Amino acid sequence: MDFTAEQVERYSRHILLQDVGVEGQERINKGKVLVIGAGGLGSPVLLYLAAAGVGTIGIIDGDEVDLSNLQRQVIHSTPTIGMPKVLSAKETMNRLNPDVCVVTYHELFTVGNAFDIIKEYDFVIDGTDSFPVKFLINDACVMAKKPFSHGGILRFDGQTLTYLPGTACYRCVFHGPPPSNAVPTCSQAGVLGAIAGMLGTIQAAEALKFLTGTGELLTNRLLTFNAKTMNFRTVKLKHNANCPVCGEHPAIAELVEAEQAVCELKKKS
Amino acid sequence: MGRIKVNDEVQEVSLPMTLAELMTVNKVLQPDMLSIQLNGEFVEKESYAATTVKEGDEVDFLYFMGGGL
Ligand SMILES: [Zn+2]
Q: Collapsing DSSP states into helix, strand and coil, what is residue B34?
A: strand
pLDDT of residue B32: 82
- Cβ-Cβ contacts under 8 Å for A27 (sequence gap 6 or more): A211, A212, A213
pLDDT tens figures, A136-176 = 999 999 999 999 999 999 889 999 999 999 999 999 999 88
Percent of chain A with pLDDT over 70: 93
Q: pTM of the predicted model, to two decimals?
A: 0.92
Give me the CATH number covering residue A225.
3.40.50.720
Mean residue pLDDT across chain A: 92
Contact A117, A105 (CB under 8 A): yes
Distances (CA, A) of A38 to A59, A104, A248, B20: 7, 10, 35, 39
Banded pLDDT at A90 (limits 50, 70, 90): very high
pLDDT at A59 over 60: yes
Rounded distance between C-alpha atoms, residue A139 and residue A252, angstroms: 8
Instruction: Test A233 with B41 for CB contact under 8 angstroms.
Output: no
Contact A183, A252 (CB under 8 A): no
pLDDT tens figures, B31-60 = 888 999 999 999 999 999 999 999 999 999
Rounded distance between C-alpha atoms, residue A243 and residue A215, angstroms: 27
Question: What is the total count of domains within chain A?
Answer: 1
Residue A76 lies in a domain: yes
Percent of chain B with pLDDT over 70: 96
pLDDT tens figures, B29-39 = 888 889 999 99
Q: Collapsing DSSP states into helix, strand and coil, what is residue B3?
A: strand
Contact A76, A85 (CB under 8 A): yes
pLDDT at A266 over 50: no
Q: What is the ipTM of this complex?
A: 0.86
Provide φ and ψ at A178, rounded to 5°. -70, 160
Of A195, A198, A202, A39, whose CA–CA distance to A130 is shortest? A39
Where on the phi/psi map is residue B8: left (φ > 0), alpha (ψ -120 to 50), or beta? Answer: left
Residue A7 lies in a domain: no
Residue A244 lies in a domain: no
Give the pLDDT mean for B21-31: 89
Domain span including residue A79:
31-236
Banded pLDDT at A113 (limits 50, 70, 90): very high
So what's the architecture of B2-63 in CATH? Answer: Roll (3.10)
What is the largest distance, in Å, between two alpha-carbon atoms of chain B?
Answer: 44
Of A133, A161, A146, whose CA–CA distance to A239 is shortest? A161
Chain B interface disruption, residue of A35, A61, A148, A154, most B CBs within 10 A: A154
pLDDT of residue A269: 34
Contacts of B30 in chain A (CB under 8 A): 178, 182
pLDDT at A107 over 60: yes
Residue A243 lies in a domain: no
Residue A11 lies in a domain: no
Banded pLDDT at A268 (limits 50, 70, 90): very low
Banded pLDDT at A186 (limits 50, 70, 90): low
Residue A23 lies in a domain: no
Residue A91's CB: how many other CB atoms inside 10 A? 17
pLDDT of residue B31: 83
Residue A63 lies in a domain: yes
pLDDT tens figures, A202-251 = 999 999 999 999 999 999 999 999 999 999 999 999 888 999 999 999 99
Banded pLDDT at A264 (limits 50, 70, 90): very low
- Cβ-Cβ contacts under 8 Å for A206 (sequence gap 6 or more): A149, A160, A162, A217, A218
Q: Between vectors from CA B24 to CA B44 and to CA A176, what angle results, nearest 5°?
A: 30
Residue A130 lies in a domain: yes
Residue A241 Cα to ligand 1 middle (Å): 8
Distances (CA, A) of A151 to A46, A99, A204, A266, B35: 14, 27, 11, 22, 16
pLDDT of residue A265: 42
Contact B68, A39 (CB under 8 A): yes
Rounded distance between C-alpha atoms, residue A200 and residue B63, angstroms: 19
pLDDT at B67 over 80: no
User: Nearest-CA distance from A124 to chain B in Å?
Assistant: 15
Considering only A62-66, A104-108, A241-245, A259-263, which range has the smallest mean pLDDT? A259-263
Instruction: Test A174 with B67 for CB contact under 8 angstroms.
Output: no
Among A42, A184, A240, whose Cβ lies nearest the Cβ of B42? A240
Residue of chain A with shortest Cα separation from B65: A152
